[in-house]
Amino acid sequence: MVAGYTIPKGSIVYVNVWAIHHDPQNWANPLEFKPERFLRSKWDYNGNNLMFLPFGSGRRICPGIPLGEKMLIYILASLLHSFVWSLPKDEAFELSDEFGFVTKKRKPLVAIPSPRLPDTSLDN
C-alpha cells in the first residue's frame, strides 16, 4: 500500500519526476528558469532528497553520476571557450516546454556557434 492505494504485485510504477521538480510546495516559482537555485546547497542525488531526482533513485539510480558531474563542467567550459553562441536572425529566445512521457522544448532551440579564436590551433 502506498499513500492509501493498493499496488498489485508485479505492477510497473512510474514516478512523475517532472511533477516533483515543478511542485510549488517544494520550489518557489517552479516554472521559472532559475539555475541559481541549485547553487545554494549540495544536492543529494542518492534519492534521499525527494524534491530533486535528476538521476533516478534506489536500485535503478544512474551509476554514472560522478562521471557526469565532472564531465559536464569540462564539456561546457570547452564549448564556451571555443565558440561565441548566437540565435538565428530574428528569432527570440523561448523556453516553453510540452509535457509528455519525457519533457521536451515546444520549439527546438537552435544556437549558432561561431569560432571565438581566429587561429584554430589556439583552441587546444
**C-alpha radius of gyration, the chain, whole number:** 19
**Beta-sheet strands, E only, within the chain:** 83-86, 97-98, 104-105, 112-115
The grid cell for 74 is 569540462
62 annotated ligand-binding residue: yes
**H-run or E-run covering 74:** helix 65-82
Distance CA 88, CA 119 (A): 24
Which is nearest to 81 in space by CA: 111, 120, 36, 55?
Answer: 120
Paired residues of 114 in beta bridges: 84
Q: Which residues are annotated as part of the binding site for heme?
A: 62
Q: Which residues are annotated as part of the binding site?
A: 62
